[in-house]
Amino acid sequence: MSDLKKRIDTILEANQELDSTLQKICKLLYDEVKHFNWVGFYFKNGDKQELKLGPYEGAPTEHTIIPYGKGICGQVAVSNETFISQDVYAEENYLACSIETKAEIVVPIFKNGENVGQIDIDSHYANSISKEDEELLNYICERVGKML
């Protein structure tokens, strides 16, 4: 993971446009972490109580707007806490993006203490999200929050 962190740092320190930077992070994670089968950012949609899809890598999704409280992403927007599901079909509040998705992790992004977005990872493999994955995604979200 330290090699991946270094590559993330290189992307973040390149001083490019935010969307371009986030897209490169999505692509790197999608390409390099075998069990990351969809990687995307969602951000608070202005003053609305909803998330809007930002840069992502993976299959297209119909979930471009997610109301707060709906699905795992909407739940994290309300709870302000990372959510890991090793089996999405065991979750009552799961919002299906793909029938192939088996596990998901959503990590919030904070700016000045406010939850302004999140990174969402879907995996086609149940029980695939590790502590190392969570640590890497926390690191990315902390860094992205400072860029906003």
Count other Cβ atoms within 10 Å, centred on residue 80.
12
Q: State CA 6 to chain mean position distance.
A: 19
Query: DSSP labels for 69-94?
Result: TSHHHHHHHHH-S-EEES-GGG-TT-
Q: With beta carbons less than 8 A apart as the criterion, state whether 118 and 108 touch.
A: yes
> Does the pLDDT of residue 1 top 80, yes or no?
no
**Domain boundaries defined on the chain:** 2-147
Which fold does the domain 2-147 belong to in CATH? Beta-Lactamase (3.30.450)
User: Which residue has 């089996």 as its token pair?
Assistant: 87
Per residue in 67-83, pLDDT tens?
999 999 999 999 999 99
pLDDT range class, residue 34, cuts 50, 70, 90: very high
